[in-house]
Amino acid sequence: MKKIIVILIVTVLLLCTGWTASAADEIAVGAVTPLTGKLAVYGEGFQKAMLLALDEVNASGGINGKPMKIVFEDNNSTSKGSVSAIQKLITIHRFPVIFGPAASTNFLAVCPIAQQNQTILIGAESAAASISKCGSYVFRVFPSDLLQGIGVAELTEYLNYKEVVLTYINNDWGVGLADVFKEYFLKSGGKLIDEFAYDEGKTDYRSEILRIKKNSPRAVVNLTYIKEGATMLKQAYETKVEVQWLMGSAAKSPKLVELAGVAAEGVIGTYPTFSQDTSQYIAYKNGWEKKYPGQKTPIFGEYNYDMVKLTAEALKQTKSMSSSDIRNALMTASKGYVGATGDKTFDTNGDVGATYGRWTIKEGKITDYK
């Protein structure tokens, strides 16, 4: 009996907190953020960027006069932590909008929950292509990896390689990217000499390299990660395969150079970028320096900043606080919206477009390719 009473009291208390949060004269949204665990180094920067945007929104009148508020919930940088955090934000606080966690695996862990509960989930730093398929309530202001397929096709064309070998990791990400690449590359008159997928996480890619060697191409488009990319580069170097390697941004890491050494020299790739000369970006940068003097702008901070500002815009326009109305408002508010990271117009999957920069490895360092 005692137990039941305790449970009842706890439930009532929990309901009260949920009720006060939504009933108070403020517009509150939730955020699942890695404040502890291995991503905490980034999470703090994300949080600060979100708070900066929040300050600016509230300084200019909030949401139609009501102040906006973000309730942060830590996820310990894990999928498990993300799931319990979002469940708390949805079932107890009943927030209609939640900012999702960093790292695609964590984001993918929570997106079915958000979709099922018809809660809007917005991501600022998750790139996995499969997020596009999460559902109608899931958005992100960070470009999908899928777009890179186009980026790499443009790069290949720019470098004037008409015939290439296409190879990619045999998973959702790799196959998806390769499909997009193929579509654009073939349309622009390119030709594939050979095309094959390979297993993720192997240590021996020599036979794959041989298959490339057999066709003696001038360039190989390899849509790969760091570890697989490095192993292939190394083993291609050992077997004296001299080709121009073209890659995406997933391989762009000093770790690639560390693992592959001289074999990584001369690789060219693409990565999503945005202009830092726009008035929007300069406004973000100035705002940051004013609020956090002496601190460097964090990685992906500007995406978090855009996410909060765009959400505020949608909350201003929405007819009611129901999630379907907010969703519609997000679609209209994003149309032509240009933030610090460029155009944030959502497509039907809740994805944004992107522009691409080019990287290369020169003397063991990753630099911009010109």
Partner 1 sequence: MEYYAQLLLNGIIAGSIYALFAVGLTMVYGVFRFINFAHGELIAWGAYLALFFTRSPFYLPIYFAALPALLITALIGLAQDRFVFEPLRHGNRITLLIASIGLSYFLRNAIRLIWGSDLQTYGFMPTRGIDLAGLSITSAQITMMAAAILFLGILYIILAHTMLGKSLRAVADNMTLAQIMGITIKKVSLAVWVLASFFSAVGGVLLAVDTNLEPMMGLTNLLKAFAAVLLGGAGNVWGALLGGLIIGVAENLSVAFISPGYKDFISFALIILMLLFRPKGIFGILGGVR
Enumerate binding residues for partner 1 (CB under 8 A): 170, 196-199, 201-208, 210-211, 214, 226-227, 230-231, 233-234, 237-240, 255, 258-263
Q: How far is the CB of 194 from partner 1 (least distance, A)?
A: 10
Closest among 155, 365, 168 to 269, alpha carbons compared:
155
Q: How far is the CB of 125 from partner 1 (least distance, A)?
A: 20
Distances in Å between the alpha carbon of 354 and those of 142, 145, 150? 8, 10, 10
Count the neighbouring beta carbons within 10 Å of the beta carbon of residue 101.
Answer: 35
Query: Which CB, 183 or 258, lies closer to partner 1?
Result: 258
C-alpha 55/C-alpha 304 separation (Å) is 13
Q: How far is the CB of 84 from partner 1 (least distance, A)?
A: 21
Classify burial at 244, counting beta carbons within 10 Å of its beta carbon; exposed 0-12, middle 13-18, buried 19 or more.
middle
Q: How far is the CB of 235 from partner 1 (least distance, A)?
A: 8
Q: What are the start-end ranges of the H helices in 140-262?
A: 146-158, 172-187, 206-214, 226-238, 254-260
Query: Which CB, 216 or 322, lies closer to partner 1?
Result: 216
Q: How far is the CB of 257 from partner 1 (least distance, A)?
A: 11
Q: How far is the CB of 168 from partner 1 (least distance, A)?
A: 9
Q: Are 342 and 277 in contact (CB under 8 A)?
A: no
Count the neighbouring beta carbons within 10 Å of the beta carbon of residue 260.
Answer: 23
C-alpha 248/C-alpha 272 separation (Å) is 9
Q: Which residue type is seen at 356?
A: Y
Query: Which CB, 129 or 257, lies closer to partner 1?
Result: 257
Q: How far is the CB of 262 from partner 1 (least distance, A)?
A: 6
Query: Which CB, 238 or 289, lies closer to partner 1?
Result: 238
Q: Are 180 and 149 in contact (CB under 8 A)?
A: yes
User: From the CA atom positions of the chain, what is the Rg in Å?
Assistant: 23
Q: Are 89 and 67 in contact (CB under 8 A)?
A: no
Query: Which CB, 201 or 266, lies closer to partner 1?
Result: 201
Instruction: Please give the distance of CA 276 from its chain centroid, rounded to a whole number.
Output: 19
Going 344 to 345 to 347 to 353, the CA torsion angle's sign is: negative
C-alpha 308/C-alpha 268 separation (Å) is 34
Query: Which CB, 147 or 267, lies closer to partner 1?
Result: 267
Q: How far is the CB of 203 from partner 1 (least distance, A)?
A: 4
Q: Are 199 and 225 in contact (CB under 8 A)?
A: no
Query: Which CB, 51 or 259, lies closer to partner 1?
Result: 259
Q: How far is the CB of 199 from partner 1 (least distance, A)?
A: 6
Query: Which CB, 90 or 233, lies closer to partner 1?
Result: 233
Query: Which CB, 233 or 307, lies closer to partner 1?
Result: 233
- Give the phi and the psi of residue 229 in degrees, each rounded to 5: -60, -45
